[in-house]
Amino acid sequence: MIRITKLLLIVLFVAGISSCVKDPELTDKYARPDWLAGKLFTQIQDRPELSQFAQCLEISGYDTIINTSGSYTVFAPNNDAFTLYFAEHPGYSSVSAIPLEELNRFVKYHIVQNPWSSDQLKRLDVYGWIDSTDINNDVPKGYKRETLLREKDQKYGVKYDEAKSIIIIDTLLSPWYRRQATDSRKHAPIFYKELFNIYDLSFNDFSFYFNRPYDDPMDIYYVNGKIVTPDIFAENGFIHIIDRVIEPLKNASQILSTQKNNNSYTEFLDLVNLFPVFTYNEQRTKDQPGADQGYDVDSLFDITYPQLAFNITNERTKAPSGTVGLPSNVTIRYHHGMIAPTNEAFDNFISEYIAGPNHWGTFAETPIHIKRMLANTHMSANAIYPSDFEKGFYNGEKDIVSINPSTIVQKEYGSNCTFIGTNEMLVPRALKSITGPIYLQRNYERLMYAIEYTGLLPALKKESNNYTLYVESDLNLREDSSLVYDAIRKEFSVFQITGNQVQRFILTNNDLRTLLLNHIGSDVPRGLANKEFIRNLAGNYLIYNNITGEVSGTSPSTYGYQGSVQTNVFPVQISTNADNGITYDIKNWFNFSSQTLYGKISVSYKKFHGLLAKAKLVNDKLFEYTFLSQNEFYTVFIPSDAALDAYQVDTMGIPGLKKFLQLHFIQGDIIFTDGNKSPQYYESTRIDEKSTPFTTYYTKFLINPDIDIIHIMDPSGNDYVTIPESATTNIITGRNLGTGQETIPKVISTSVIHEIDKVLLKSELDTE
């Protein structure tokens, strides 16, 4: 057995040695095929037209990186591109003359992570590859790609402002700094025909930023470099030959920090840098080299600008506010926009709008929310192109703005935004509208903070409106204590002064909104009628006495909050160039009542109310008329007692009485004697004989609301009854929308009463 085992071992040993001898056939079988493409740098080396870029890769050390591991896409500039580059950069005569740090940056910017064919460059969105069968992901909106270039963690000088918030300042001006944890590598845009179609852009939009024509609709551009030879396959990726050397795009912060063609934007940068928020990034701090060995390293912070339209320092971009259902990183789809005024333009704006008598004096003294407004006016959540100049675009203040092309002094396509430098500052809508005097003058600071507190500014600055706005100055408010602002607590209140007694009431947001909305008319009076009635934004009416110039609410004005002394209010215009209405200064606030239609009729028109009760149209327990809706407007023509007696209405049967009474109520419209309504057939609450079991029709009759008189017409085109403006017309009633516990009553006007000297009869009226 021992001999047999030894013999077996010898045989196995010889067989093992024999197996190690190379078989020529097997060697050929596993040899690298001649047709298999080499790796990326090998492929680049093999192309004579890429010799200078190959040299760049060798000097930077990326020749071995892209030839060893990983998958990449290389956008390789050809030698003609370098000839153009050196002509534009006369300081460099050759690749070897380019400073190594700069060379490394632009080499990394020509390399994109992962392999992308030219077809794949046009088939991506934030959800991944587009799918023609998926309506939520069938459009290639993902036009940017992440390069290998990551900026160093930037150091920012910081300090506390007066409000104890951290702001960014020049590092030379502060011994205290914070270092940013760079959020991402830089991204580069890819331009293709489908992209222009998606965003309704033209090829001129590309030419505007990159100063070259878009030669052929079928071309693809990597930044401003046209792909002249696409899809060179390599073992670990793709090479696309381009006709430009691409310089890394700067983000908004970098552009603003760089002076170009004698244009400096440092003052606008300082403005934006009033709004950063620094959040300590523990993980990035610990990941720094040496941190795990106990060496001192800088703390790293994430920087955000939550009050502004976008983050000027970050390479990652975000979707506009209100966009939902997207993944966390949407940078490949979204790009922002900035219009930055030069320092000269900024100074000119300050001189015109901020400095001067009654204004803020200096920019430093200007309230922070005005500064935020100025910054956001020049920023946009979306990229800005020449296609947007005329039709306008939404800025960070949610205003539609446009740019005068003649003011443009610089334009760049940045890595996180499109950038346009201008020699003229954009004026915020708030300063051009009826709120202009309030935001520009110290005299109305309390009202300005009230508008900010209630969030009413977007409604007040709309261009399409023609408002009248009535405000009390700080001086008057200090005298009557009808609006007090505590800047420390950021709290509003009013004081009721009765004799020697003073009582303070805190205003809620709703109280403050009601107060302001009651003082905003939805239109400007024409001044033709003796009295004119303009609905305000709170749902009440401002009453204009065009003879005396007095303006009031639906109740007499009083001195102070719920004062006992009545006063007349004569507004004085203070706006000069508002484009959406007129702003007036008033000495006292307007008051508004909440007497209901039921309450007014039942007390002041008892005979008419008694007839409504007889016709079973009254619910006395609920204090309402059963045929009227709480959600409708009404005009009521109430015959005088003499008119009712003359027609002997009390002798009518209930069915006829009901129809008779309901004819006197117009539903859906409030008609005054100011002539602001058009002549037409107005619908009453009377159910017409044309009605069927399936459809209800209401009797309509012709009313001509003229200036200072209302005409109700007969079938011959003559006046059946006329209602001239008087003390017994235009009696406004309404209802309370609140609980009754509000400091500022929340009431609305829902109906108007006119007393007439003749009853309305269907047979005598011009009915439709």
| Backbone torsions φ then ψ of 452, nearest 5 degrees | -65, -45
The model's pLDDT over 246-264, given as tens digits with 9 standing for 90+, comes to 999 999 999 999 999 999 9
Instruction: Grade residue 390 by pLDDT with cuts at 50, 70 and 90.
Output: confident
Q: Which residue is listed with tokens 């400096």?
A: 264
**Once rounded to an integer, what is the mean pLDDT over residues 601-605?**
97
Q: In this predicted model, what pLDDT tens digit does every residue of 198-207 receive, in sequence order? A: 999 999 999 9
pLDDT tens-place string over residues 486-510: 998 999 999 998 878 889 999 999 9
pLDDT tens, position by position, 143-154: 999 999 999 999
Greatest C-alpha distance within the chain: 147
**pLDDT of res. 25:** 46
The pLDDT score that the predictor gives to residue 496 is 93
Q: What is the mean pLDDT of residues 59-71?
A: 94
- Residues above pLDDT 90, as percent of the chain: 88
Task: Note the pLDDT of residue 97.
Answer: 95
DSSP E strand stretches across 299-378: 300-304, 336-341
Question: Token pair of 407, please?
Answer: 């003011």
**Euclidean distance between CA atoms 443 and 445, whole angstroms:** 6
Query: Which residues fall within 8 angstroms of residue 109, CB to CB, at 6 or more apart?
Result: 147, 148, 149, 186, 188, 246, 247, 248
Cα separation of 525 and 468, whole Å? 9
Closest CA to 147 of 119, 105, 177: 105
pLDDT higher than threshold 70 for residue 23: no
Q: What is the mean pLDDT of the chain?
A: 93
Give yes or no for residue 7 having a pLDDT over 60.
Answer: no
Instruction: Write the pLDDT tens digit of every residue in 529-564.
Output: 999 999 999 999 999 999 999 999 999 999 999 998
Confidence of residue 357 (pLDDT cuts 50, 70, 90): confident
**Mean per-residue pLDDT, 470-478:** 96
Alpha-carbon dihedral angle through residues 556, 562, 565, 569, given to the nearest 10 degrees? -50
| pLDDT at position 331 | 98
Which residues, 6+ apart, have CB-to-CB distance to 257 below 8 Å?
Answer: 266, 269
- In sequence order, what are the residues at sequence separation of 6 or more whose Cβ sits closer than 8 angstroms to the Cβ of residue 398? 458
- H/E element holding 471? strand 467-471
Give pLDDT, residue 173.
Answer: 87
Determine the pLDDT at residue 34.
Answer: 52
Q: Is the pLDDT of residue 465 over 50?
A: yes
- Residue 15: band (very low, low, confident or very high) from pLDDT cuts 50, 70, 90: very low
Find the angle CA(383)-CA(386)-CA(389) to the nearest 5 degrees.
95
What's the order of all strands across the beta sheet hosting 709-713? 719-724, 709-713, 698-706, 680-687, 665-667, 634-639, 747-756, 731-736
Mean pLDDT across the stretch 439-446?
94
- Arithmetic mean of pLDDT, 646-674: 96
Q: What pTM value is reported for the model?
A: 0.87
DSSP 58-84: HHHTHHHHTTTSS-EEEEEE-HHHHHH
What average pLDDT does the segment 645-658 reach? 94
Question: Running DSSP on this structure, what letter comes out for residue 416?
Answer: S
Of the candidates 412, 221, 390, 422, the one whose C-alpha atom is nearest the C-alpha of residue 335 is: 412
**What is the CB neighbour count within 10 angstroms for residue 690?**
11
Torsion, Cα 7 11 16 18, to 10 degrees, reads 140
Q: Where are the beta strands (DSSP E) in 640-715?
A: 665-667, 680-687, 698-706, 709-713
For 665-710, the pLDDT digits (tens) are: 999 999 999 999 999 999 999 999 999 999 999 999 999 999 999 9
pLDDT confidence of residue 36: 57
pLDDT at residue 33, as a whole number: 54
Q: Does residue 10 register a pLDDT over 60?
A: no
